[in-house]
Chain A
Amino acid sequence: MLSVRDLHVYYDGIHALKGISLEVPKGKIVTLIGANGAGKSSTLRAISGLVKNIKGSIVYDGRDIAGQTPVDIVRGGIMMSPEGRKIFPHLSVLDNLMLGAYSRNNKAEIQKDLEWVYEVFPRLKERSGQKGGTLSGGEQQMLALARALMGAPNLILLDEPSLGLAPLLVKNVFDIIQNINEVGKTVLLVEQNAFAALKIAHYAYVLETGSIVLEGTGKDIMQNAKVCEAYLGG
């Protein structure tokens, strides 16, 4: 479904991604783990068309989307839930969700997805008129996930969805990611919480200062001693 080849990302003077390649097969959960500053967000932002200065190819459904505008990429069926959730605190929960559906025009289908999203996240339905900023951290993360789903993506990019959440909520979030995957969404999951991510991922890549240093199935990586010491805290 998504095939990244030799991707480089540059910020003025900083070579943040040094030619990474990765595959995200249809229907799978693939995770990209690594320490802070490794280049995980840069990878997702490059796929979403948010960083301009990139090199390499990003082939999605057979077409190279590198260099396309974010709007085109969203229309093509890729939605991102950015790091730090980035919900709009001054807008209502409903408006936040509608922003996720901004690129779509079929009102009936949007309404149908809204109802589905409200079913998955009943809390959001209760609070649909409330400002996003008044939600708790966990609820904001649910809103960010739901907002991404409102774009009716085939591929969903999640940037550290467990960031700053209490352990119980983290489990909750990962359960939901698995559910999302089971209804047919392909997931590229970026995490610092390697252990939780590896548990649900079909395949994993380990990123270190802009390069992929290790890849394998979630289980393999979890058993790999190197990862244990570097990312799972022994």
Chain B
Amino acid sequence: MIRLRCPHCGLRDHSEFTFLGDATVSRPGTEAAGDLARGGAWSDYLYLRRNPRGVQEEFWHHGRGCRAWLVVTRNTETHEVLDTRLARDRGDRA
């Protein structure tokens, strides 16, 4: 079991959370609407991933807990969790 330290709920089993994926992709604004061409912001956001073998920042949702969105820094090869924080506190993007 991977355990994530939710800032609200403490150390919890990963089965309480839902994984969304890479937290370094950012959702484009409406001005990019319709732009799906190569390198286009929406196509990048929807489909392209760094998919690193190693440390990745990723979104997890504490659906069976406080329902907050978290940004978890985790190693995809060892499953070691390096950091957990509220996505809200990042402020910039989501």
Are A and B subunits of one complex?
A: no
Instruction: State the A residues within 8 Å of B (CB).
Output: none
Instruction: State the B residues within 8 Å of A (CB).
Output: none
